[in-house]
Structure 1
Amino acid sequence: MMSRYVVQAGWSHAPHLTEKDIEDLTKSISPHQREARMNGTPSLGAGAIYPVPEEDIVVEPFDIPSYWPRLYGLDVGWQRTAAIWLAHDRESDIVYAYSEHYRGQAEPPVHAKAIRMRGEWIPGVIDTAARGRSQVDGRSLWHLYEDEGLILHNANKAVEAGLMEVLDRFSGGRLKVFSTLQQTLGELRIYRRDEKGRIVKQNDHLMDALRYGVMGIHNADTRPRADDIIPIPMGDPTAGY
């Protein structure tokens, strides 16, 4: 029986390279290639859409201040519906992806319940294609989700502009992802273009939702204060309704 071994090695394991050599080599390559060249860690290569080191964008979860506005990006579909929640620290202009929903083959009420549990007051940005007719009963998915109590805005679907905005935030340290978002990080690692420069449309639902959210961050809202909630007077105080 033949045994196989895999050895990962990079510049940091090469005794003939000086620190100055490694520094010069590091400056000559793209950020997404550094981990592979330094330590031999496999990477997606030139096709990666967000070529940023994972350690630069992943943060440990923390309690989000109540005054930070929030929203979620929503990508709907029968095979997979995905949502990602963002909180915006406006003072530093850093957006934090802090929660995710990822489920397939379920009706809108199921997804809507999971979304409302994160905060019914949080608005969402959704693919405008959801305004098309549902194959279920002729109503649009948009209206089906609105009927479930979701607050929705049109997503900006300018793909390349959205990709550049997300990349710019990642590269500038203005977009972070909680380490608990394993589905999001899994998609991020394989999000790529093919040899013709086209986006590989596989396992990218959360990536679409992230793009919608980042492009629509101006729609984010803050948690309402208790004294901001105006009680609705009863029509008949005796009957109670």
Structure 2
Amino acid sequence: MSRYVVQAGWDDVPHLSEQAKADLEASYLPHEREARRLGMPGLGEGAIYPIAEKEVVCDPFPVPEYFAKAYGLDVGWKKTAAIWGAWERETDIIYCYSEHYRGQAEPSVHASAIKARGDWMPGIIDTAARGRSQIDGKRLWDLYVQEGLDLHKANKAVEAGILEVYQRLSTGRLKFFSTLQHTIAEYLLYHRNEKGLIVKEDDHLMDALRYLCMGIKIAKTKPIPRQRISSGIADSTAGY
């Protein structure tokens, strides 16, 4: 038996006048309008961050040196994810500009990828997440610290973290570079089930994003290398 899917929105309906379309658009919430107008499927009320993709994604640009940087890190064997944010303190906008998304690799592999983006940057991690025991979490923490990462413990208040991310997204203070394909994919799928519980599937970067936003104040700018200044003294004994 063959099956067909027909995707159509009100732009495809010839009998609707422009005024009728405008009235329909006004009857929906902002994040629902594009899906209704174009006939695109969406998560509807289940979406945790019900803000259109075009509102939160921006074109990449060279990040200025004075922006403070940090990353959120969610670790696990099936998938380890990290997201880097550049924080413009004056406007309080966080630009997420890079991501790491890989499964089934040792901490040393992930640590190498993280340090390649700047080993001076602080990271925010919750090693006790994903159902790990306290002992396993401590071991993971130690392993990553031994790899030379500057780590800080994440604020684990889930709902408070989601609210912080949502407030930033809705006020234009959190943006994703369009190159962050895994992050954007998770963002669009991140939702609650019919009981109001977060669906814990393919949400590693969303967890890392929450850690980053809750702990952004630890972000710092790239250290300026110290220049060795010559004293101009050829003979340190004689003084000239």
Q: TM-score range by the shorter chain?
A: 0.7 to 0.9
Q: Which residue of 1 aligns with 2:173?
A: 174
Q: What is the CA distance between 1:28 and its match in structure 2?
A: 2.6
Q: Which residue of 1 aligns with 2:225?
A: 226
CA distance in 1, matches of 2:26, 2:89: 32
CA distance in 2, matches of 1:219, 1:27: 42
State TM-score, norm by structure 1: 0.87
Counting only pairs closer than 5 Å after superposition, residues 53-132 of structure 1 correspond to structure 2 as: 53-129=52-128, 132=134
Q: Which residue of 2 aligns with 1:10?
A: 9
State TM-score, norm by structure 2: 0.87
CA distance in 1, matches of 2:45, 2:169: 17
> Secondary structure at 1:134's aligned position in 2?
helix
**8 Å contact from structure 1 (residues 83, 206) kept in 2:** yes
Q: Which residue of 1 aligns with 2:234?
A: none
CA distance in 2, matches of 1:98, 1:39: 29
CA distance in 2, matches of 1:201, 1:228: 49
| Bigger-Rg structure (1/2) | 2
CA distance in 1, matches of 2:63, 2:152: 23
**8 Å contact from structure 2 (residues 127, 140) kept in 1:** no
The sequence identity of aligned pairs, in percent, is 60
Letter in structure 2 aligned against 1:134: D
Letter in structure 2 aligned against 1:121: W
Q: For structure 1, which segment, 57-66 or 124-133, has the greater mean C-alpha deviation from structure 2 after superposition? A: 124-133
CA offsets 1:165-207 (integer angstroms, 9 cap, x no match): 1111111111111111111111111111000000000110000
CA distance in 2, matches of 1:93, 1:25: 35
CA distance in 1, matches of 2:22, 2:171: 21
Residue 201 of structure 2 is aligned to residue 199 of structure 1:
no
Letter in structure 1 aligned against 2:178: S
Q: Which residue of 2 aligns with 1:141?
A: 140
Letter in structure 1 aligned against 2:141: W
> Secondary structure at 1:188's aligned position in 2?
helix
CA distance in 2, matches of 1:132, 1:27: 50
Where structure 1 has 5 or more consecutive residues not aligned to the other structure, the ranges are: 230-241
